[in-house]
Amino acid sequence: MRQNDIINTFLSQLKEDSDEYKNLEVSNDMEEKKKAIRSLMNIRMPKTIPDKLLNAQNLYLQEESALKGTVSLTEIPNISKQYNSNHSFADRISIWQGDITRLCTGAIVNAANSQMLGCFVPCHRCIDNAIHSAAGMQLREECNHIMNQKRNQYGTQYEEPVGTAILTDSYNLPCDYVIHTVGPIVYDGLTESLRQDLRNCYENVLNCCMDNRITSVAFCCISTGEFHFPNEEAAKIAVETVTNFLNSNMNYNIHRIIFNVFKDTDRTIYEKILGAA
């Protein structure tokens, strides 16, 4: 099936699935169709996914993944090889700049919100939106199932606390798992409590990896950007927490921890902290 046919089929199925957007008009431009597809996926509430829609989605997302290309661990040097860093775990740590949804790691980390259902804002540029959009609608379904179980246990107003780590499948992503963590939001200045919340995010993700025998993980820049945690301070906490965890768990044979950055400024910060600049 040609790419245009895959796009048209999935868009048609998404429109048919929506009561509100059944008659949505989209131009014949391929990029506009892709934008409409992502928007309709983003706003779709968690509910059963018909097989026909699911098959069309998986075919589309797998084609998109192939077009973007995946990145294996062998293509990402550690900081010892790339920068000649003398960090105590330089052979296990990497800095990689790019789209986290391309990584063939054991897990990637999603900076989630407390509702744990992904981002509902069409085509929003946050990492939560990017990961859910690339994984597929099944990811929201699984997250909703987890949250419903927790609401049954803790009450209907339950929201996921800051600093926990929730493991899900990865669906159409090339990684094995997604680990979701809710980072702290900085409103009126940085406090020690907020710093500890961020430490908890990194530590609990690593504990989740250890518990599930995951040997490679890619961290996004948790709580920066939309959550307003200062980038340099967040990076210092990330590196310090990872280093302390590795020192405290010498028997855990994790092969690679990747600090995934998207902006040049974040790459420069991590290079400086890790002795790679």
pTM for this model (two decimals): 0.96
What angle is formed at CA 147 by the lines to CA 142 and CA 149, rounded to 5 degrees?
Answer: 100
Residues 6+ apart with CB under 8 A from 132: 41, 42, 118, 119, 139, 140
pLDDT digits (tens, 9 = 90+) for 61-111: 999 999 999 999 999 999 999 999 999 999 999 999 999 999 999 999 999
Residue % of the chain over a pLDDT of 90: 94
pLDDT at 1: 61
pLDDT digits (tens, 9 = 90+) for 34-68: 999 999 999 999 999 999 999 999 999 999 999 99
pLDDT digits (tens, 9 = 90+) for 166-196: 999 999 999 999 999 999 999 989 999 999 9
pLDDT digits (tens, 9 = 90+) for 135-174: 999 999 999 999 999 999 999 999 999 999 999 999 999 9
Amino acid letter for position 254: I
Task: Indicate if the pLDDT at residue 277 is higher than 70.
Answer: no
Q: pLDDT band for position 211 (50/70/90)?
A: very high
